[in-house]
Chain A
Amino acid sequence: MNLEREEILRRFEVWLDGVLAAEEAPQGITAELLSSLATETGVSANGRCDLYSIWAAITALTQEIKLQGRSFKQLSETLAPLADLAPQLPEMQREAQERARREMLDVLLELRDRLGRGLEAARVSQAKMRESLESGWAARLLARHKALRQAFEAVAALREGYTLSLDRLDEVLAQFDVREIVCQGEPFDAGSMHAVDVEETEQAAEGTVVEVYRAGYEWRGEVYRPAQVKVARKPPTTSAGDHKNE
């Protein structure tokens, strides 16, 4: 504690010496008088200051306090908006976390879509290869060829790889409470599905989803991304009255 006090006094003394040394000579006083004052001013032998030195020090101190007060006021005005934000900080933090989660979820779902498309392409390729290899005697003969067998096995391995990756990704999504919206064969629901295509058919009931173009997902029990689907609709019926009008 004493050390701090001594340090404060020392710094104050250094500052005061600097201020007094840089002070300009009073205006309107002759050089002779100034030189006589200079010999008389300052600390005397008994350690006391003269009146002029005390007055100069007090003036400098007053000016410094004024400057410090102005700086403090400016600082308070600058920080005021930040103080107003304080009550909103928890809400802003929650919103930032939510936004970060959504961005991560978008990436995961995009990844899942792409893996799904890759799996479907591998499945179709495998089916076509199998079909062509089993279609005739020449093809069966070719099937014995080593290169063809290897290609078939490569597609099968690719398909298995996609399946494993998708399974793992689905586990991660389940941990985040994300699940795919089941659409195929279900009645159209505008809340969770987006009708991007319509098929006029008698094969399915009106308003039934006949194809899913892009999977939809629920997060925490609410629709996060609606599915893009094709929906069945009854073909328009032409009545006798319509022909009459034509």
Chain B
Amino acid sequence: MNDLVAGIDLGTTYSEIAAFVKDRVQVLGPETNKMLASCVGFSPTGELLVGDTARHQQLLYPELTVRSIKRKMGSAEVVKLGTRRLRPRKSQRSSFASWWNGRDAT
């Protein structure tokens, strides 16, 4: 198994991720502009939505969508997402991944 080294530019509105693939650094992403909306959520059926797909439903299901989470990074604020209440892990508050892998606050 090869280790993949990736770098993440976590922006308030959009994020980008780059990795060393095929002997060169490549920006990975769903579109040609390689930008991913900094937005996550769940559909009413419980499907995890990331990026633009989550952003598209924000107006309709604000209780199931979280956006601009960067502004809350490092804080102990609990975010509601449907029936879940999420908070960053104490040990890795600055990590985007750990935020979303964090355990339920309740």
Q: A-side interface residues toward B, CB under 8 Å?
A: 88, 98-99, 102, 188, 190-191, 193-198, 207, 226, 231, 233
A190 touches B54 (CB 8 A): yes
State how many residues of chain B have any CB contact under 8 Å with chain A.
14
A102 touches B59 (CB 8 A): no
Interface string of B57-86 (1 = CB under 8 A from A): 111100000000000000000000000000
Complex Cα gap A80–B53 (Å) = 43
CB distance from A198 to the nearest CB of B (A): 6
B32 near A: Cβ within 8 Å? yes
**In the complex, which residues 33-63 of chain B have their Cβ closer than 8 Å to any Cβ of chain A?**
43-44, 49, 52-60
Beta-carbon nearest neighbor of A206 in chain B: B44
Complex Cα gap A197–B32 (Å) = 27
How many A-B residue pairs have C-beta atoms within 8 angstroms? Tell me.
Answer: 32
Given contacts A190-B53, A191-B53, A207-B44, contact A198 B60 (CB under 8 A): yes
Given contacts A88-B24, A207-B44, contact A190 B56 (CB under 8 A): yes
Given contacts A190-B54, A207-B44, contact A195 B60 (CB under 8 A): yes
Complex Cα gap A88–B60 (Å) = 44
Given contacts A88-B24, A207-B44, contact A194 B56 (CB under 8 A): yes
Complex Cα gap A226–B56 (Å) = 9
A195 touches B57 (CB 8 A): yes
Q: Can you pick out 28 interface pairs between chain A and chain B where the beta carbons lie within 8 Å of each other?
A: A88-B24, A98-B32, A99-B32, A188-B57, A188-B60, A190-B43, A190-B49, A190-B53, A190-B54, A190-B57, A191-B53, A191-B56, A193-B56, A194-B55, A194-B56, A195-B56, A195-B58, A195-B59, A195-B60, A196-B59, A198-B59, A198-B60, A207-B44, A207-B60, A226-B52, A226-B56, A231-B60, A233-B60
